[in-house]
Chain A
């Protein structure tokens, strides 16, 4: 294997650099993680535990959570909030986008009035309104998250509909006798990438806001758990919950969404 001189590294021997090059990505990434945890541990020795618990005690708390059903139940509740809000916002956003696409006279109302208004409305504002109207419960949480997500889904689906290739639809129509454009074989596949983009953004945003909503307006869910831990100065639980959330969101992104995106890109890329 020819050793091309990679910039910025001195090669001590023949074999070492190629191994280094092969494993460099993993070495650097895992090395960074190890250094970070070591720094966390070191700093945790210096400050009191209620400010910054060490990585070990956080890990222990996380293990406790895994055996104890509390966190699983709360996590499922949060997941339920996120899923319900996503479905609702897809229904509302989809209805708005399709209406704007199909009925030109309503386009101005939806594109230039309603969507920008929803888009400019504060998430915290929806949350506090919902608390006033529905009290402290899951309806409040789902209502607030749905309304925060709706402009995102509307805009994504609307963009997809705008990008629908007219020529391709025309061609599809000319290949069949049916008057309607072939929805299942043509329109839906063309919309899939935009729907997926809407789902991906929506999922990310939903997780960012659902905890806030649960903390102030919910009586179940991970956000509620965070709130009780905060009131009891239970820093270990706060850290454990945050680490769980990061792991959960990062894993869905890297294990589920990114590979799916790659497959979609391969399958639906055109032009």
Chain B
């Protein structure tokens, strides 16, 4: 991933900042002027969208949908990580299972269309929170599993051996040695999974759910409420951005520092 380079102070940095911010301003201006000539159900103006975005965050009856989606995705992510670690550990314990996991289970999970899970989930379990979470777990699991398996491959076997030589208690050596060694991979897996969950796995809420951002999207679309569609997109962008900048990236940095062997 390309991390944004910190702009150097000085004329060049100033110019590129000016260009970057200026382009955004220009874009909003263009948007505003185009929207004036078009009906609101085709392209709402920036101000309309911002106002809808505001009500989405203030109005309790709307905010509840944001909260519900957030809770479902968080639950799905926690479940997925636990499942991925469990499967990874099982693959590490048994060579045969690792074969089956990589050449069969992962291959199929990775090729399984997300909509397929959504249709099957709703057919099997009806419409409920559990179904939505099931669909999200099924969509996100291959991404987490790939990260966890890669992590287990990279772990230094000698360090683990050392951990075992310090204590007989397996749990202790797992939590104190294996898990910290695995942490950078878990976090990078979680980062990818969070993005996928918010950007793609929301499809789970489009199939008949009565709450959540996906439900709001369907409603907005059938009422031709374009401002609401834009505002929901904006909410998702803000959430994904905030989660990455405020939680996942600092975590990733903290753990990669921990790993730096030279000290």
Residues of A within 8 A of B (CB): 8, 24-25, 28-29, 32-33, 36, 51-52, 104-109, 111-113, 115-117, 119-126, 128-129, 131-133, 148, 155, 158-159, 162, 204, 207-209, 211-212, 215-216, 223, 226, 230, 235, 238, 241-242, 245-246, 248-250, 253-254
Interface segment out of the listed B83-91, B151-159, B162-170, B221-229: B221-229
Interface residues of B (CB under 8 A from A): 1-2, 4-5, 7, 12, 15-17, 19-20, 23-24, 41-42, 95-96, 99-100, 103-104, 107-108, 110-116, 119-120, 123-124, 139, 195, 198-200, 202-203, 206, 214, 217, 220-221, 224, 226, 229-230, 232-233, 236-237, 240-241, 244
Contacts of B42 in A (CB 8 A): 132-133
Min Cβ gap B134→A in Å is 15
- State whether A121 and B229 are in contact (beta carbons under 8 Å apart), knowing that A104-B16, A111-B4, A254-B107 are contacts in the complex: no
B19 touching A132, Cβ below 8 Å: no
Task: Tell me if A's interface is mostly helix, strand, loop or mixed.
Answer: helix
> Known interface pairs A28-B96, A112-B4. Does A105 touch B16 (Cβ–Cβ under 8 Å)?
yes
Collect the chain A residues with CB atoms within 8 Å of residue B100's CB.
28-29, 32
Given contacts A105-B16, A122-B202, contact A128 B229 (CB under 8 A): yes
Bound CA span A131–B229, Å: 11
Q: Collect the chain A residues with CB atoms within 8 Å of residue B2's CB.
A: 111, 115, 155, 158-159, 162
Min CB gap B63→A, angstroms: 18
Complex Cα spacing A106 to B7, Å: 11
A-B CB contact pairs (8 Å), 19 listed: A24-B96, A29-B104, A51-B123, A105-B16, A105-B19, A108-B5, A108-B17, A112-B5, A120-B195, A121-B236, A122-B199, A122-B200, A122-B240, A128-B217, A129-B229, A132-B221, A209-B200, A212-B200, A249-B111
